[in-house]
Chain A
Amino acid sequence: MKTLTLAWTYLWSRPLAAALNLLLLSLGLASITFLILVSHQLDKAFERDLQGIDLVVGAKGSPMQLILSGVFHIDVPPGNVSLKAVLELEKHPLVAQVIPLSLGDSFQGFRIVGSSHDYITHYRAQLAQGKLWTQPMQVVLGAIAARKLGMAVGQTFVGSHGLAAGGHAHGENFYTVVGVLAPSGSVLDRLILTDSASVWQVHEEHGPDDEDEKAHLLEQREVTLALLRYKTPLAAMSFPRYINSQTGMQAAAPALEITRLLSMLGLGTDVLRAFAGVLLLTAGLSVFIALWSAVRERRGDLALLRMLGAPPFKLAALLLLEALWLGLLAAALGLLAGQGMATALGWLLRLDNSLLVGGMVWPPALWLVPALALGVAMLAALLPALGAYRVSVLELLQGR
C-alpha cells in the first residue's frame, strides 16, 4: 500500500469533514484566483491599449465614458464632434499627433472603426494578409474579429447601425475586406478598421455632387473622438484645460481616468481580498481542527502502526500527505472556479470580444494559488503531524 493511497483513504474516511474543508479552501482560493486574473488582465489591457495615448478628445459628457468607448471600445461614445475642430488641434504646438476615430456601426457585434492608417501604426499592428485600405469601403479586420467572423480577404459584408449586434442594416453599402491584421494583443484585434470616409459615405444620403457641396459637407462632417499624443509631457498641465474651456469639446486623460476607475474598483477588490483572506484562514483552521481530531481519534491506530514497525516520521508524513491531498484538490478546484468566475464576469459584462476580462489565462502570478493552497494545508498539518510523530505506544499498551 502506498502512503499516497493510504493518505487519500484516510482523508475520505470522514467525507463530510473532508468535503467541508475542501469547500472552504477552494472558495478562498477561487476568490484569490479571480482577483489575480481580473487585476492582471485589467493591468495588461490598460498597459497595451493606453500606450502612447495622452489624451482623448470627444463630445462633452462623462470622461470615463470617452476613455472606455474611445480606447477600449467597450462603452458607447458620448456623441460626435466636428471634424474641423479636431483637425484644428493638429496645428496646436503642443500636439504631436491626432488620430480621429469614427464609431457608430458594427458587424455582428464587432465595431467598425473609421480612422486613418495612423491608428494601425500607433499599435504597431502588422498585416497577416492582404493590404491596408486605399479607398473608402475597404476594411482591415483585427485578428480576433477575422477569426470569429470567419472572414478573409475578398469577402464583403454590410454593416449595421449601432454598436451592438441587431441594428438595421445599411442597405447597399458593401464593405470589402482587403486585409487581416496579425494578432497584436491590443484592442485592434477585435475591431473592423476602415477609412473615416467609409463611415461618412455610409451615413450620408449621397456623395458630394460638386466642389461647393463637397466643401459644405466637409464643414459638416463629424468624427466621434480623437486620440492625441503630446509633443511634451508638460502639455498635460495646460492642454486638457484648454480643450475643456476654449472648445466645445471635452478632454479626458486616460491615465487620470484609469486611476479613478481603479480606485473605484479598489474598494471592491479590497473587500474581496479581505474576504478571501478570511476564507483561507477559516479553511486553514478547519483543516487543522480536522487533522488534530483525526490524530486524537486515531491515536490508537497510529500507536499500533508504530508497534507494527512504522518509524515516527512515516506517521507524520501520512498526516502531511493527507493535508497535501486536500491542498492539491482545493488548488485545482479553486483555480477552476476562479477561472470560471472570471469567464462569467466577462460574459455578464458582455466583454467576451473585448479581451478585457475573461477566464482560461495563466498569468505567472497565478502560481501563488497552488503555492498558497499547499502552504495553508502544510501549516495546518504541522501540529497534527507533530502529534502523530510523538504518539506514545505505551498508552496503547496500557489500554488507555
Chain B
Amino acid sequence: MRFPDVAVAQGATLLLSGPSGCGKSTWLALMAGLVRPTSGRLVVAGQVLNDLDSVATDAWRASVVGFLPQKLHLSAALTVRQNLALAQWAAGIAEDRAAIDAALDALGVAEFSDRKPAQLSGGQAQRVALARAVLQQPKVILADEPSASLDDDAAADAVALLLATARSQTATLVIATHDTRVAALLAAESADCAGLQRLQLLRNPP
C-alpha cells in the first residue's frame, strides 16, 4: 500500500476518509507504530517511527497515542475505573487514581466509575472509552469510526466531544471514518479554527 504524504500540525484535526478497504486501518496501524513502513519516513509527535524497536514502540505508543476503537472494547469483567486502571497497567505505569478520576470527571462520567460497562448506555460507554484514550494525555488521538451506528444527534455529540477533548489537551485528533456526516460536522465545529485537514484515501489498485 502507498499513502499520500500528509503533515499535520500539533493540535490540529485530520479527517481520514475513504471507502472501506482503502487502507484506513493500515494507516492507523502505521501511526500507532503497530506496523512498520517499508519505505518512506514516518514522524508522529516528533518521533521518527522508522527506527524504533518493538519494545520502545510499545512504550512510546502507551504515552503518546490515545486510541478510541470503533467497538469501544471496555472489559466487561472490570468496572469503569478498573478499565481505566487497565490502560495504566498496559502502559506499564503505576495505578494513578487521581488521574483516572480526573479523566472520568472531564468527560462527565465520574458518577459511573464503579459500574460495569454493561450497565452503561452507548453514549456513556463511549465517553468512558474516550476517557481511557486520553488518560495518559496523549499527543495524538486516533478515533476509529467514532460515529458508526450512532444516530445524527449522537454522532454530532460524539464528534463535538472528541474535538473538545482533543483541544483541551492540545492533542492532534485523527478521525478515521467512511461516515460522510462526520465531514460536515467537523466543518461546522471547526469553522472558527483553521486546524482541519482532510486526507481522502482512494481504493488502492490490487
Contact = CB atoms under 8 A, between A and B. Distances in A.
Majority SS at the chain A contact face: helix
Contact of A6 (B35, B71, B89): B89
Contacts of A10: 77
Contact of B90 (A13, A310, A394): A310
Interface stretch (B37-45, B53-61, B187-195): B53-61
B203 interface: no
Interface string A273-307: 00000000000000000000000001011011111
Contacts of B58: 306, 309-311
A373 B120 CA distance: 39
Contacts of B82: 1, 9
Contacts of A399: 25, 70-71, 144-145
A309 B34 contact: no
A9 B25 CA distance: 31
Interface in B60-111: 61-63, 65, 67, 69-71, 73, 75-78, 82, 85-92, 95
Interface string B1-31: 0000000000000000000000001101100
Interface string A63-86: 000000000000000000000000
Contacts of A310: 58, 62, 89-92
B73 A301 contact: yes
Given A308-B62, A397-B28, A300 B73 contact: yes
Contacts of A306: 34, 58, 90
A390 to B, nearest CB: 13
Interface string A389-400: 000011011110
A306 B62 CA distance: 9
A314 interface: yes
Nearest to A304: B73
Contacts of A1: 82, 85-86, 88-89, 95
B32 interface: yes
A305 B145 contact: no
A11 to B, nearest CB: 9
B86 A394 contact: no
A3 interface: yes
B29 A397 contact: yes
Nearest to B84: A1
B77 A13 contact: yes
B25 A308 contact: no
Majority SS at the chain B contact face: helix
Interface string A309-328: 11100100000000000000
Q: Which of B28, B59, B67, B90 has the most CB of A within 10 A?
A: B90
Contact of B144 (A2, A13, A397): A397
B69 A396 contact: yes
A308 B71 contact: no
Q: Which of A13, A308, A393 has the most CB of B within 10 A?
A: A308
A396 B28 CA distance: 11
Contacts of A393: 29, 32, 34
A307 B61 contact: yes
A393 B35 CA distance: 10
Contacts of B91: 308-310
A13 B61 CA distance: 28
Contacts of B59: 309
B34 A394 contact: yes
Contacts of A9: 77-78, 82
A298 B63 CA distance: 23
B71 A307 contact: no
Interface in A1-60: 1-3, 6, 9-10, 13
A398 B61 contact: no
Instruction: List the 7 shortest-distance A-B pairs measured between CB atoms, nearest first.
Output: A309-B62, A13-B77, A310-B90, A308-B90, A397-B25, A1-B85, A304-B73
Interface of A: 1-3, 6, 9-10, 13, 298, 300-301, 303-311, 314, 393-394, 396-399
Given A300-B73, A308-B61, A308-B86, 11 more contacts: A1-B85, A13-B77, A304-B73, A309-B91, A310-B91, A311-B58, A394-B34, A396-B69, A397-B25, A397-B28, A399-B144
Interface of B: 25-26, 28-29, 32, 34-35, 54-55, 58-59, 61-63, 65, 67, 69-71, 73, 75-78, 82, 85-92, 95, 132, 144-145
20 contacts: A1-B82, A6-B86, A9-B82, A300-B71, A303-B73, A304-B69, A306-B90, A307-B34, A307-B61, A308-B67, A309-B58, A309-B59, A309-B61, A310-B90, A311-B58, A394-B34, A396-B69, A396-B73, A397-B28, A399-B70
